[in-house]
Amino acid sequence: MTTGGYPPPQQDPRATGGHPGAPSYGATPPDYTQQFPQYGAPQNGGPQYGAPQYGTPQNGTPQFGAPQFGAPQYGAPPYGAPQDGGFGGPGFPGPDPNFGAGTRGELLPRLGARIIDGLIVGIPMGILSAIMILASGGSGFVDFFMTVVSGVVAFGYWTYMESARGATIGKKLLGLSVAGPAGGNPTLEQAAKRNAFVALQILTGVPLLGFLAGLLSLAAYIGIAVTIEQDGNKQGFHDKFAGGTRVRKS
């Protein structure tokens, strides 16, 4: 049958892929998003198929809150920062606030060290003084001279050993050492000030003045013992006079 003198349009098998009933050219394609909802538009606010998830960088620009490759997340410590109190990472303990300070030296060990050092210096000097006095026939001048020498040797011994070695022999035997105000061994000046009361022994050979020097020396020992026991840092007044020296237990 013809319409207006023209035959009706015929379907081209090539347009339908050789399958009858397929839509012809120009026909509206079916909406597959209705048949297959997982493809195409997002469902319930979800992302489209193949669309980037939240936090995924798009076009080279990271979204807000997304961690960048190689960078710590917000709130995480930066690389190299102490972890769990570490010094530079887990497994490395942090610095101890008491490191290098040691335990404060108590009164009795310090007194014991002073007695040991007194014997170390006093016994040889006492023997030498007795020999010199006997050899001189009991000369008063020799007695005075050896008293001065003994005082100088005692003062030099404590000053040198504490400044150069950090401890006298007696302190080493009892596990003690002397530290300067800034740490390390005290300087020669600090050690000299710390042991200035020992120099009073030089004056004990002087008549009358020697008696007064002996009383001052005894008062110094008592005052040092009292201030060590009362001070929270176990510093005697001789330590504070030296600028803040400290005696530590190793």
88 or 162, which is more confident?
Answer: 162
Residue 2 has pLDDT above 50, yes or no: no
pLDDT averaged over the chain? 75
**What is the per-residue pLDDT across 7-50, written as a single tens digit (0 to 9) for each?**
555 555 454 444 444 454 455 555 555 555 554 445 555 545 44
**What is the per-residue pLDDT across 49-63, written as a single tens digit (0 to 9) for each?**
444 444 445 555 545
131 or 28, which is more confident?
Answer: 131
Q: What is the pLDDT of residue 204?
A: 87
Closest CA to 176 of 230, 117, 220: 117
